[in-house]
Amino acid sequence: MIMATKEHTSRIFDGELNHLHYLVLEMAGLVITQLDHSMKALDERDIKLAEKIILRDREVNCHENKINEAALTILAKRSPVANDLRMVMSVSKIVVDLELIGDEVVKIAKLILTLFDSKSADPNLQLLRDIMKMGQMVSEMLEQAIRSFDTCDVKGAYTLVNEYWDYGDEYQAGIRRQLTFVIEDPRIISRSLNIFQIMKSLERCGDHARSIAEYLIFMIEGKNIRHQDAE
C-alpha cells in the first residue's frame, strides 16, 4: 500500500532532518543580519555596530560547527540515500558558503573601522553610494537563496543563478565609477582602495549566495550545475 504522506517510517529521522534544516535557517538568519548590520554601520558611520559585527562572527562559526556535527551524526546513524543524502550533503556545503559570507562581512566591518577612523575625514558620500546599492542587492540574493532553501523552491534557485550575471555587471560598473572619482580627485585614492575592497567582499558574498543556489538545485533535482565547463 502506498502511503499518502511522505514522512519517514522512522519519525525520529524526520525530526533529525528537520533539526538540521532549522539549524541552517538559524545560521543564515544570523549571517543576513550581520550583512545588513555592516551596511547599516557604513550608512550611519556606526563604529560600535562594526565592532559588534566582528565579535558576533564567533556565533556564526559556532553555528557551522553545530550543523557539521548534526550532519555527521545523520550520516553515521542513518546512512541516508537519495533525496535525504543530497540534503545532508548540500547542507554541509551550504554552511561553508554561509561561514565564508560571515568572514567577508567581518572584513567589511574592519574596513568600516578604518574608513571612519576619527583621525580621518569622512569619505565622500558618492563613494559610498555604490557600496550601499551592492550591499542591498547581495543581501536580497542571500535572502532569496535561503528562502528557496526553506521552501525547496528550485525555480527561485534557478532565478538566482541566472541573475548573478546582472549583479556581476553591477559590480563592474561600480568599479568603473569609483575609478572615475579617483581620476577626478587622486587624494581619495587610499579611501577608494578601502571601498574597492568592500565591493570585492560584497561580490564574493554574492558568489557564495549563488553557490548556495547551485547546491540547492542539486539537493532538489539531483542535478549538478557546478563547474559545467569542467566536463
Least distance (Å) between residue 33 CB and other proteins: 7
Q: What is the rounded CA–CA span in Å between residue 180 and residue 176? A: 6
- Residues 79-108, one symbol each (x = binds other proteins by CB under 8 A, - = not), give xxxxxxxxx---------------------
Query: Which listed range, 17-25, 101-109, 111-119, 185-193, lies at the site for other proteins (CB under 8 A)?
Result: 17-25
Question: Under the criterion CB under 8 A, does residue 76 sit at the interface with other proteins?
Answer: no
Q: Distance between CA atoms of 184 and 186, rounded to whole angstroms? A: 6
Q: How far is the CB of 84 from other proteins (least distance, A)?
A: 5
Which residue's entry shows cell 528557496? 148
12 contacts other proteins (rule: CB under 8 A): no
With CB under 8 A as the rule, give the number of residues binding other proteins: 46
The total of other beta-carbon atoms located within 10 Å of residue 2's CB is 3
Residue 22 makes contact with other proteins by CB under 8 A = yes
The three three-digit cell numbers of residue 106, written as one number: 567581518
CA distance 192 to 100: 24
Residue with smaller CB distance to other proteins, 27 or 182: 27
- Do 191 and 126 contact (CB within 8 A), yes or no? no
* Residue 37 or 210 with smaller CB distance to other proteins: 37
Site string (186-225) toward other proteins, x via CB under 8 A: ---------------------------------xx-x---
Q: Please, which residue, 96 or 152, has the CB nearer to other proteins?
A: 152
| 66 scored as a contact of other proteins (CB under 8 A) | no
Q: By CB under 8 A, is residue 74 in contact with other proteins?
A: no
Using CB under 8 A as the binding rule, whether residue 154 contacts other proteins is answered as: yes
**Site residues (CB under 8 A) for other proteins, limited to 107-136:** none
Nearer to other proteins, 57 or 178 (CB): 57
Please give the residue ranges that form the binding site for other proteins (CB under 8 A). Answer: 1-3, 5-10, 13-15, 17-19, 21-22, 25-26, 28-29, 32-33, 36, 79-87, 139-140, 143, 146-147, 150-154, 219-220, 222
